[in-house]
Structure 1
Amino acid sequence: MVLAGALLSAGFSCARNPITGRRQLSLVSEGQVQGMALTEYQKFLTSNPVAAPSDPNTIMVKRVGQRIADAIGRYYSAHGSPDALKGYSWEFNLVVSKEVNAWCMPGGKVVVYTGLLPLTQNETALAIVLGHEITHAVAGHGRERMSEQLLAQGIQVAGDVALGSDPTTVGIFDQVYAPTAQVGVLLPYSRKFEYEADHYGLIFAAMAGYDPREAIPFWKRMASMGGEKPPVLLSDHPADADRIAKLEALMPEALTYYHPGQ
């Protein structure tokens, strides 16, 4: 059941992220959100036009995604945390939509929109985007954000069944994870989360054999889109100049992981 009421500070649950080393509020388990994410992902795929498996862009998305996933597995194993990806069963799909976006749900459920591809322009830039979005999932950013909302509303989750059966907690999940949610409006990612996603996303892309330096021209292309309403992918992100400066500062480290041809 889900019990409403203020949570005592003694009951706060925090966990240390095995890669970033940062302590994160963790009121819900990875297994809980993975189960709900799978249901939401399957629902999304049945109600949206998925590009054909034979489409060259679909093949590219699956190839890039799997290379990033393999790199993440190697990175976590090398850092003594192979169990951090427990329950992950990777899926990569290309959805026909003008929306400039991509996302990854807990458990490795990934979607790229065709509207993003004119901006990525090449496979390497797509790897930069997927590295960033997948990092949000594996680093538990959505789960941390959901925990913050549960705490703010004085909701205590009791047991794995509660999260998926209570309307309030399901609503919070939808705000954080649902593909139809306006990312960055209800519960925007913090700059801390974005920096982590940029940081480790570059590393994962580099380990997958993609030149991390492609991040700079890609984000410059995104910034140059202009218009009154930015793409969803940009709506919750740091200011363009600040992001590019930080990416440039991260580049020397990322390049140590880049070994083309291996």
Structure 2
Amino acid sequence: MKFRRLIMISALTAGLVACATSPLGRNQFLLMPAGEMDQMGATAYAQMKEEKPQSKDSHEVNYVLCVSNAITNTVGGNQQWEVTVFQEDSANAFALPGGKIGVHTGLLNVAKNQSQLAAVIGHEIGHVQAQHSNERMSLQYATQGGMQLLGALAGQDSAAKQGIMAALGVGAEYGVALPFSRKHEAEADIIGLQLMAQAGFDPRESVNLWQNMAAANGGNEPPEFMSTHPSNSTRINGLRARIPEVMPLYQQAQAAGRKPQCG
């Protein structure tokens, strides 16, 4: 009886945790406690800082910090955000649960101004706010029988550890391709637009950013039906459609004196 009762309690608890809603109102399956996700994010981030070179260019670092801080200051809550600029040629950035942000120096060659950089950082924070890593980790947790995910992350290199890194959104750093799904990408795009606008960055520059991304890739992207990522043209059209909704946020931020000067 006692064992059966424990099973019932566990099932009810899992059901309560799993019933969640994203910031945009989408139903979500979330099993992982927020505290454990934060710990996994912090652990993964610390490992990356140990393994990967960081920029020693104070101008680059201060520029990224300026843009990041302007956005995180609008997020609210008690979360303290840490930002690291990695010396890496790829045009990439990421944000992890626990308030961790990483920006590759290669992104600064594609994001031509502060608002374009804000579009990327806002997008990555959008993934965190919408708990997209938790959704992917919950699926792993459910399908792998309650594996001790944090223990696997802290251990030696293994398939389990690589899978966790991929679910957190930094799998590409370790040769594991697991991009966020189209619905996650579209959701992060919208949240990112809202965040950058609230911080006083021009949301219209998000379109220019993705045009730059397309140009940097030389137009070499797979057909959309073969990729979990939306094509550049689909993403640009989606952003254009949403910009009228967030322009009032941008105008309000400007009127309130939120006019970032990151150079």
Asked whether the two chains share a fold, i.e. TM above 0.5, the reply is yes
Quick one: which amino acid aligns to residue 121 of structure 2? Answer: L
TM-score by length of 2: 0.79
Specify whether residues 95 and 11 from structure 1 end up closer, same or farther in structure 2 by C-alpha distance, changes over 3 A only.
Answer: closer
Identity, % of aligned pairs?
Answer: 33
Matching of residue 196 in structure 1 with residue 184 in structure 2: no
Cα deviation per residue 1:58-110 (whole Å; 9 max; x = unaligned)? 1011111111111121xxxxxxxx5xxx6x32011111111110000101100
Task: Name the CA distance, whole Å, in 2 between partners of 1:134 and 1:8.
Answer: 31
Q: Work out which of the residue numbers 238, 246, 249 in structure 1 matches 2:238.
A: 246
The 1-side partners of 2:89 and 2:228 are apart by 19
Paired amino acid for 2:113: N
| Higher relative contact order (Cα pairs below 8 Å, separated by 6+ residues) | 1
User: What are the within-5 Å matches in structure 2 for residues 105-254 of structure 1?
Assistant: 105-151=96-142, 153-156=143-146, 162-166=148-152, 170-177=161-168, 179-181=170-172, 186-227=177-218, 237-254=229-246
How well do the aligned residues superpose, as a CA RMSD in angstroms?
2.8
What does residue 78 of structure 1 align with? none
Cα separation, 2, equivalents of 1:154 and 1:47: 28
Unaligned runs of 5+ in 2: 1-9, 154-158, 222-226, 258-263
Q: Which moved more, 1:22-31 or 1:214-223?
A: 22-31
CA distance in structure 1 between the aligned counterparts of 2:99 and 2:116, rounded to whole angstroms? 20
Aligned to 1:51: 55
CA distance in 1, matches of 2:126, 2:174: 16
Distance 2:102 2:110 in 1: 16
1:229 shift after superposition: 6.7
- Matched position secondary structure for 1:209: coil
Secondary structure at 1:31 match in 2: helix
Does the 8 Å CA contact 1:17/1:24 hold for their aligned counterparts?
A: yes
Matched, 1:15 2:19: yes
Matched, 1:63 2:66: yes
SS in 2 for 1:145: helix
In structure 2, what is the Cα distance between the partners aligned to 1:8 and 1:217?
Answer: 47
1:38 matched to 2:24? The reply is: no
Q: How far apart in 2 are the matches of 1:112 and 1:229? A: 23
Alignment partners' CA distance in 2, 1:229 and 1:40: 31
The answer on whether the counterparts of 1:94 and 1:113 sit within 8 Å (CA) in structure 2 is yes
Q: How far apart are residue 49 of structure 1 and its match?
A: 1.7
Residues 206 and 255, structure 1, Cα contact 8 Å, conserved in 2: yes
Residues 249, 180 of structure 1: CA spacing in aligned structure 2 closer, same or farther, 3 A cutoff?
closer
Q: Deviation at 1:184?
A: 10
TM-score normalized with structure 1 length = 0.79
Cα distance in structure 2, aligned partners of 1:113 and 1:166: 26
Q: Secondary structure at the match of 1:210?
A: coil
**Secondary structure, counterpart of 1:16 in structure 2:** strand
Check whether the contact 1:146–1:172 (CA below 8 A) recurs between aligned residues.
no
On the 8 A contact 2:133/2:169 being kept in 1, the answer is no
Cα distance in 2 for partners of 1:150, 1:181 equals 21
CA distance in 1, matches of 2:29, 2:116: 32
- Contact residue 176 and residue 183 of structure 1 kept, 8 A: no
Question: Is 1:32–1:163's contact at 8 Å kept on the other side of the alignment?
Answer: no
Q: 5+ residue gaps in structure 1?
A: 1-6, 74-81
Distance 1:257 1:188, change over 3 A: same
**Structure ID, larger Rg:** 2
* Contact residue 163 and residue 176 of structure 2 kept, 8 A: no
Cα distance in 1 for residues equivalent to 2:176 and 2:44: 20
